[in-house]
Amino acid sequence: MTTERPPHITAEDPRGAQAAAEILRRHADGELEANITSAVRNFLTITGLVRDDEVVEEAPPAEGSRQAVDLTALDTFVEFKRRIGLASGGAPNPQYVEQLDDYLAQSAKQGRVRMGVLTDGKHWLLRWPGASEEVRLTRPYAFTLEDPDRWFTLHEWLRDYALGVPESLKPNREETAKHFGQGSPSYQRDIATLKAHYQENAGKETIRVKRRLWYDLLRTALGEVAYSTEGIDDAVRSAMGDRFAEDIQEMDDLFVRHTYLSAVIGMVVQASFGIDIQRLAETDPADLLSGRQLRQDTGLYGVLESDFFAWPNEVGGQPLLRTLARRVARFDWTEAPADTAATLYETVIPPEERRHLGEYYTPAWLARAMIRELVDDPLNQRVLDPACGSGTFIAEAVSHFIAAAGKTGWEPMEVLSRLREAVTGIDVHPVAVHLARAAWTLAARPAINAAAAAGHDASLSIPVYLGDALQLRFDTEGMFAQHTITISVEDDENTELAFPRSLVERAEAFDSLMGDISAYIERGDDAFLSLDDNHIDDPDERRTVEETIRAMQRLHDRGRNHIWAYYTRNMVRPVALSNSR
């Protein structure tokens, strides 16, 4: 079967108007639903929205169902009626809406998240799993075909909102907001699906840990300005009643949106390096969040990891990841600008909420001017942004370094190696780190691609870390602080994870060790072997790490280990940086 997309016809092509006129004629004559179905199918194929083999009629909405959807195009259900009830601006027949919603729910229950369209040929209504019972009749949620000569507006509505037709869109601020922002029906569908997954699994221990750590870091980043009632004692909680519940719900909603953002940003970065994320979504959707393929293809580490936002892989979220991947794959990300991640964030978190959270962004032009002014010897200076936010300064510093390195004649791997030491970012905000890592990586793409073209594996960990630049989140006091860094898990057993400072300061060795410990524990193997694998020979270092391994094994046995390797590896990074010269 061919996978090439059919050619789109232009707005001036008479075939589009002819196909639309036939749809409207059959609607006006009150013809049978099957006849309207046939006319719409013809419109879809003639205008290049779908291939003929991408359209199926009378298919069940789910395996085992005795019902049949009138037409399935790509991944969208289309249900036809002679009249859906939209007369003089009135609402559609609730029974018809309920029928389509039931089809979508059946499909979603079996792991296929779809869009649905209810139409009589003239009036078109968009639905999705979890859509509000209150039917919205304004665009982009609905469309009315009035004039066959304006057929291209229907074509665009179907392409962008109903079908999500694959095409090489250029990522810019307007298109990004249109397809991934809050006003997009696809966004609302995906958030509703993700929220349902979270609500069903919020009590799971691994997810509770991720959610709590995320909140603790967010509160450290933002202070008490937002959502400050979470974490209060039971007596005050009871007295607050509904207000406490509302605050918790707001935080849960933000956690879900942050999860959505991190997934989309990760897919964008992978696609920017030529990874076929749509194919990966079909073969190994979990890898869209873990980044194994990206590491294998590029040698890049630390771009995607199993962090706070990888929980959809634990709760059957793979169908949603496939759906997200299809949407991301509509764009050509190979030349995505470095501020793409920040743009995505701004489309999902509205301005008034960002202001409430105390989040402000430096314009790229200002960051560029400051970097040019202050970093006057980029090849011999080091840039550290200890509160890097979305990575605006980071991206400009990376680009500034690469431009200067291009005049030296250095080999590609030398450029990349020096760049890693030259530009570093830290932020305690759990989503800002995702944005900044993406910004660093996208800005460094010319150097990464040059190294690959020269036959080198980048073998590079991205130097942007989730961490507290003020070093307030672990014990740096006391008798042994000069030798040990201790992080409290804050569980009922008062578990502490201790790390030799001398090991933490060997960044690459520490990263490798923590990754191996986590992998060994996850597989049920002897995690103490990781000490030999990583040549941890110093007796004092071994004793300290052995105690930490035992603690991590206990956490794993209680379903709490999944996040700690990532968390500790990042949170202690400021210590290593503070002692480097």
If you average pLDDT over residues 227-249, what whole number do you get? 53
In a domain, 264, yes or no: yes
pLDDT for the residue numbered 342? 86
* Buried b or exposed e, range 207-226, using 16+ CB within 10 angstroms: bebbbbbbbbbbbebbeeeb
In a domain, 5, yes or no: no
Report DSSP state, residue 227: S
Based on the fold, state whether residues 438 and 543 are members of the same structural domain: no
Based on the fold, state whether residues 157 and 26 are members of the same structural domain: yes
Higher-pLDDT residue of 548, 476: 548
pLDDT band, very low/low/confident/very high, at 240 (cuts 50, 70, 90): very low
* Cβ pair 389, 428 in contact under 8 A: no
What CATH number does the domain containing 151 carry?
3.90.1570
The Cβ-side half-sphere exposure at 10, using a 13 Å CA radius, reads 2
Based on the fold, state whether residues 339 and 215 are members of the same structural domain: yes
Range with lowest mean pLDDT among 64-73, 216-225, 249-258: 216-225
Based on the fold, state whether residues 394 and 317 are members of the same structural domain: no
Based on the fold, state whether residues 122 and 185 are members of the same structural domain: no
pLDDT band, very low/low/confident/very high, at 480 (cuts 50, 70, 90): very low
Based on the fold, state whether residues 329 and 368 are members of the same structural domain: no
pLDDT for the residue numbered 27? 96
Question: What share of the chain in percent tops pLDDT 70?
Answer: 89
In a domain, 49, yes or no: yes
Based on the fold, state whether residues 417 and 488 are members of the same structural domain: no
Give the separation between CA 138 and CA 142, rounded to whole angstroms: 5
Based on the fold, state whether residues 146 and 207 are members of the same structural domain: no
Based on the fold, state whether residues 197 and 261 are members of the same structural domain: yes
pLDDT for the residue numbered 112? 86
Mean of the per-residue pLDDT values of the chain: 86
Q: Look at residue 245 and tell me whether its pLDDT is greater than 70.
A: no
Q: Look at residue 229 and tell me whether its pLDDT is greater than 50.
A: no
The Cβ-side half-sphere exposure at 338, using a 13 Å CA radius, reads 26
Q: Look at residue 211 and tell me whether its pLDDT is greater than 50.
A: yes
If you average pLDDT over residues 51-55, what whole number do you get? 93
Higher-pLDDT residue of 53, 359: 53
In a domain, 30, yes or no: yes
Based on the fold, state whether residues 182 and 307 are members of the same structural domain: yes
pLDDT for the residue numbered 258? 94
Q: Look at residue 144 and tell me whether its pLDDT is greater than 50.
A: yes
Confidence (pTM): 0.85
pLDDT for the residue numbered 243? 47
If you average pLDDT over residues 532-559, what whole number do you get? 89
In a domain, 475, yes or no: no
pLDDT for the residue numbered 19? 97
pLDDT for the residue numbered 226? 46
Residue 444's domain comprises 361-470
Q: Look at residue 301 and tell me whether its pLDDT is greater than 50.
A: yes
Residue finishing a domain among 137, 165, 193: 165
Residue finishing a domain among 165, 181, 216: 165
In a domain, 478, yes or no: no
* Cβ pair 187, 395 in contact under 8 A: no
Q: Look at residue 336 and tell me whether its pLDDT is greater than 50.
A: yes
pLDDT for the residue numbered 581? 53
In a domain, 4, yes or no: no
Cβ neighbourhood burial of 57 (10 Å; 0-12, 13-18, 19+): middle
In a domain, 151, yes or no: yes
pLDDT for the residue numbered 311? 93
Domains of the chain: total: 4
Based on the fold, state whether residues 206 and 347 are members of the same structural domain: yes
Residue finishing a domain among 356, 371, 393: 356
Based on the fold, state whether residues 416 and 371 are members of the same structural domain: yes
User: Is 127 strand, coil or helix?
Assistant: strand
